[in-house]
Structure 1
Amino acid sequence: MLGALESKVADFAKREDQLQKELRTQRNIVTQKHQVTIDQAQGRLDREVSEAQAHLEAESARLKHVYERRRTRVERSHLVLTRHLPRRVREVRESWLGELQMRRFRLERQLEASGVINPEFTRRLATYQSQFTDLLHRTRDAFAGSSSFISMIRVRRKAPLPGPICG
Structure 2
Amino acid sequence: MNNFIVFTGGPGSGKTTVIEALRRQGYCCAPETGRKVIQEQVKQNGTAFPWLDKIAFRDEMVRMELANFNDYRDKPETVFFDRSILDCLGYSLLEALPTPKKLEELCEELTYRKRVFVFPPWQEIFENDAERKQDFEEAVRTYEVMVGVYERSGYRLIEVPRLTVEERIGFILGHIQIR
Measured against the shorter chain, the TM-score band is under 0.3
Q: In proportion to residue count, which structure has more strand?
A: 2
Q: In proportion to residue count, which structure has more helix?
A: 1
Q: What is the TM-score with the length of structure 1 in the denominator?
A: 0.20
